[in-house]
Amino acid sequence: MTSQEENFMRKIEADEKIEPKDWMPEAYRKNLIRQMSQHAHSEVIGMQPEGNWITRAPSLRRKAVLLSKVQDEAGHGLYLYSATETLGISRAELIAALQSGEAKYASIFNYPTLTWGDVGAIGWLVDGAAIVNQVSLQRTSYGPYSRGMIRICKEESFHQRQGYEALLALAKGSPEQKQMAQDSLNRFYWPALMMFGPHDSESAHSAKSMEWKIKRETNDDLRQKFIDQTVPQIEVLGLEHPDKEIKWNEERGHYDAGEIDWDEFYSVINGNGHCNRQRVEHHIAAHDEGTWVRDAITAYNEKKNAKKAQNVA
């Protein structure tokens, strides 16, 4: 290894943060761009299925809480895009990759929100799965990503509680409301497990990400944590577990679970989910409609900087 490579690995092994101006292998930079941009895209695209219910929330309180949550997701996307830009790639390039289909986002957001119960399920299950993954990312090796995750995790914790509280109200309500909660759980449980990605043995990036401490825990370990914490939560709701093979394994100290439908997982991430085209088309339309805002901000900043330079001169 060169002296630069040796110093880089010394920092990784010593749990020191890699900062934007530090030397890093090109493969490390590209791996980070892929993971961080995918994370940012997921936050932004994830606004769509929940935003669909802001005007149809069942009460003013629910509307205010959901509106706040969707705004938080937009903020998370901005944090992550900004952090990714420190790696030498522009926001325009990141968005172009999303809109062309070159970059991916979490497959869960290609499922439709059919009922109000789905909003609760997303908050509880989807944000719950995100927290399991993101807590470990607070210790990721890249400084800007690590620091961004600390704030994001605090807000995601609120999102999970909001979703669970909404689903709990349904589960303890009328028979029709309880059935709505059960239906949402049934439809979102398995896609939430898919959020952790393929098995470690089939993941193209996990091994290197673990070596560089970009990821601190494997896909399968994170998924097991989520399964273990979800079982008692379902029991409190008084709902039936969607996985009929779920069973406590005393020897392992974990729950054994049924197998995910991996054909469905790969079909969705390859563009064949219920809402893949709708999500990207909506993003493109919103981006195009906002062109004048970006142009106005650019013109204002140029005028401000020119005036500042003139005053200095």
| Residue 312: band (very low, low, confident or very high) from pLDDT cuts 50, 70, 90 | confident
Is the pLDDT assigned to residue 97 strictly greater than 90? Answer: yes
| Residue 80: band (very low, low, confident or very high) from pLDDT cuts 50, 70, 90 | very high
Mean pLDDT for 269-284 is: 94
**Which pLDDT does position 212 carry in this prediction?**
95
Is the pLDDT assigned to residue 202 strictly greater than 90? Answer: no
Sign of CA pseudo-dihedral 37, 39, 44, 49:
positive
CB under 8 A, 24+ apart: contacts of 265-274: 265/107, 265/194, 265/198, 268/107, 268/110, 268/191, 268/194, 269/104, 269/107, 271/101, 273/107, 273/110, 273/111, 274/110, 274/111, 274/112
Q: For the ranges 195-199, 259-263, 301-305, which has the lowest average pLDDT?
A: 195-199
Torsion of CA 171, 172, 173, 179, to 10 degrees: 30
Counting residues of the chain whose pLDDT is more than 90, the rounded percentage is: 92
Q: What are 206-258's pLDDT values in tens digits? A: 788 999 999 999 999 999 999 999 999 999 999 999 999 999 999 999 999 99
**Which pLDDT does position 201 carry in this prediction?**
80
